[in-house]
Amino acid sequence: MNDGALPGTTDQARRLLLALRAGPEELFRLVHDPDPLVVRNLLKNPHLNEDHLLVLLKRRDLGEDLLKALHQRFREGASHRLILAMARNPDLPAAIALSLLPHLYLFELLDFCLLPGMTPDQRLAAERQIIRRLPEIPLGQKITLARRGTNAILAELVKEGHPQIVGPCLDNPRLKEVALLQFLRTGAATAETISQIARHPRWQHRPNLKMAILKHPRTPMVWYVCWLPALKGTQLKELLHSRNIPAEKRQRIRDLLNRRG
């Protein structure tokens, strides 16, 4: 094939020229060229289309400068799938990635949070986008988020206090204890959701959670019956001085302390 290269030109010069003149089929091969100058020339090729760009964006060696040039060239009128492919490239500069996040759908954002190679800032921005949308998300999607979400998303979901959401949050291995401790300090915790935590096999034996549950004014009496006898005297005294415990439960603590002498 005569690609227009002059006799005696280097292989790089030939590829640079070919990148400018290649047709649609040849471009699919050139998007894999290891030379960034060749790839940059591809962006000037009038035959370069979205299908070529989607293949190109799967590469993980493009570098920030090339991705900036690509974004500058195709940001106007870019399709949703092109925006998604660009946002998922871990080499994309953070400022550009953040500008693309509002255009992603809910579970695309969640996938973005979980992608390996994302920077903490990018992951945090995606989590904030999801959290910002929570008031408008239907219950079914919130339950799916509870099963798959990151700790930051789970912490916000738990705060809503809906038993159907709290349950799958408790099962999610990404949930951290601090999120539940924060929830138990709010007015959103109910007898039902407190009991969900108290009987969950992953959480029921954690000392800090157990004390936080016993200090909550809405904790059902059954957990006092189950847990108080195993507590140390210092823990019972700590509970006795908690302002939130109702009188009936406070008396039960006093009676146990008196029996212990």
Write the pLDDT tens digit of every residue in 12-29.
899 999 999 999 999 999
Task: Output the six-digit token pair for 53.
Answer: 């760009």
Report the pLDDT averaged over residues 150-166. Answer: 96
pLDDT value at position 132? 96
- Mean pLDDT lowest among 59-68, 115-124, 217-226: 115-124
Q: Is the pLDDT of residue 260 over 50?
A: yes
pLDDT value at position 1? 41
pLDDT value at position 9? 58
In degrees, rounded to 5, the angle at the alpha carbon of residue 148 between the alpha carbons of residues 87 and 59 is 25
pLDDT value at position 76? 80
What ranges do the domains of the chain cover? 163-261
pLDDT value at position 7? 44
**pTM of the entire structure?**
0.82
Average pLDDT over the chain, rounded to an integer: 91
Q: Is the pLDDT of residue 50 over 70?
A: yes
Burial 41-75 (b: 16+ CB within 10 A, else e): bbbebeebeeebbbebbebeebeeebbebbbeebe
pLDDT value at position 203? 97
Q: Is the pLDDT of residue 5 over 60?
A: no
CA 157 – CA 159 distance, rounded (Å) = 5
Task: Output the six-digit token pair for 80.
Answer: 């949703």
